[in-house]
Structure 1
Amino acid sequence: MAGGPFDMSHPASALAGIAGNIVSFFVFLAPMATFLRIYRKKTTGGFSSVPYVVALFSCSLLIFYALVKTESPLLLTINGFGCGIETVYIIAYLVYAPPRARLRTLAYFFILDVAAFGLVLLVTMYAFAPAHRVKFLGSVCLAFSLAVFVSPLSIIFKVIKTKSVEFLPVGLSFCLVLSAIAWFCYGLFTRDPFVMYPNVGGFFFSCVQIGLYCWYRKPSNAVLPTTTADAGNGGAADQPQVIELPVHAVAILSVSPTPILGVHKIEVMAAEQQTAIDVKDAAKAAEAVDQPEVIEIVPAPAV
């Protein structure tokens, strides 16, 4: 593209590329919350390192693609930053990961980011003439750019199995939607199919992740008023009701679709008379232990 991507004779492509850089900057920073959590817990828990290893490989490929294509400084700047931040993430993961996960991460890194990238570099430079290098390398970048968007879905089975979105990076998914839109527009305006097409898939897979989060997200627990009578009395609802039972009593909550309002806590209190039991009444006390008193708690009748 004559004049480069900053040529304001092509304002649409320039603005789309700048927007893509800005949004992608936040995409790369989105996992910071995850790693702060890892740092506080001193363990990676159920988080996977695959997205970060794949993202590092994709950024490396896109830097190589921008250098081979030339006149693509917008691709160089953001992917240079991406390589740096993904390297930091991988190092942090290795520090706090358990031994087995650490070994897997190192294996992924050397297979993908070292061996595979080195192979792509050698094939591009020595197996293709200069006129065909951009097409070959662009095709490789297209495939692995899609892998970056798909890689967070590696936890989809964990989410479905546990019905929990604890390990689903929804913030990252939302940023990827915005990034996919910006870079699709950039590829469209610069007529670069290797930038445009992977972002179609990126938009789709990111929307799938957000939909999965919305489906399995658990609503916050609602707090019921203390009693039906106190619900309309303002401050009285803040005082929980405590039910005192004898030491050998067993409380059974009645099974009913009606909520048992007013019961926030059940406390077992030792009866005062117990301290007055003398030696000759010990046999009777032992018999009382074997046959505990059963108390049923039922819902209050509707008013």
Structure 2
Amino acid sequence: MCFVCCICSPTFVKICKGKSVAEFKPDPYVMTLLKCAMWVFYGLPFVKSHSILVSTINGIGFVTEAMYVTLFFVHSDWRKRVRMIYNLHVHYFYLHDFSIKRALIVDVGLTLLNGLFIYLFFWVQSNVIKTESVKYLPFYLSLANLLNIGTVWVCYASLKFDYNVVASNAAIFFSFLEIDCLNSGLFSQIYLLTSSL
């Protein structure tokens, strides 16, 4: 999770240098912040026993994303600020709905957030197709997402057999598509290289 959060730093260097968020949207950063917060909550011993590693890793991601969202908030106009505050408040009230089945509630929330990430993926794909530019789809962010979901969390869920982690990270297929959609066409090039042998 940490390397996924750190990949976004060039975007925020541009924002700080330009003193404006320009065409950047806060949605992926707010959603990642909320997702990290829910994973931290999920990993606490009173929600899911023996999952403190989930809390630790996502706690680092939460702090990093909180810094990004704060920078975005400082350099954005009032409409984007209101939208960010609204999204954060909805999440805050959702987290405080305590129940006997806390892990299930958090899992449903994480699955919904992953659904929003998939929607965001298709929105980015449509921008790439419309503009015929991969400016909106950075390769290293896509690769970091693939490694994060594909290796780290799927392996962790397999070892611990935590079906909540598996269900929430089942979007690995979309990470493969995202990388293939890039101009480099990584999987397309591999196919062409192997077919010419």
Give the TM-score taking structure 1 as reference length: 0.55
Contact 1:51/1:152, CA 8 A, preserved across alignment? no
1:209 and 2:175 aligned: no
Please report the RMSD computed on the Cα atoms of aligned residues, expressed in angstroms: 2.2
Q: 62, 87, 102: which one pairs with 1:83?
A: 62
Contact 2:107/2:168, CA 8 A, preserved across alignment? no
Residue matched to 2:141: 172
Secondary structure at 1:40 match in 2: helix
CA drift of 1:139 comes to 2.4
CA drift of 1:28 comes to 1.0
Residue matched to 1:44: 21
Q: 195, 219, 226: which one pairs with 2:165?
A: 195
1:32 and 2:9 aligned: yes
Contact 1:52/1:86, CA 8 A, preserved across alignment? yes
User: Whole-Å Cα distance in 2 between the matches of residues 164 and 120 of structure 1?
Assistant: 38
- Alignment CA distance shift 1:52-1:153 (3 Å): farther
- Alignment CA distance shift 1:59-1:167 (3 Å): same
From the two aligned structures, give the one with the greater helix fraction. 2
User: Whole-Å Cα distance in 1 between the matches of residues 91 and 3 of structure 2?
Assistant: 27
Residue matched to 1:287: none
**Residue 3 of structure 2 aligns to which amino acid in structure 1?**
F
CA drift of 1:191 comes to 1.3
Residue matched to 1:117: 92
Larger RCO, structure (CA 8 Å, separation 6 or more): 2
Unaligned runs of at least 5 residues, structure 1: 1-23, 217-303
From the two aligned structures, give the one with the greater strand fraction. 1
Q: 71, 79, 91: which one pairs with 1:103?
A: 79
Residue matched to 1:73: 52
- Alignment CA distance shift 1:87-1:65 (3 Å): same
Q: Is the deviation greater in 63-72 or in 207-216?
A: 207-216
CA drift of 1:150 comes to 4.9
Which of these two proteins has the greater Rg computed from alpha carbons?
Answer: 1
**Residue 75 of structure 1 aligns to which amino acid in structure 2?**
V
Residue matched to 1:56: 33
What is the aligned-residue identity percentage? 27
Contact 1:49/1:105, CA 8 A, preserved across alignment? no
Unaligned runs of at least 5 residues, structure 2: 186-197
Contact 2:39/2:54, CA 8 A, preserved across alignment? yes
Contact 2:43/2:51, CA 8 A, preserved across alignment? yes
Give the TM-score taking structure 2 as reference length: 0.81
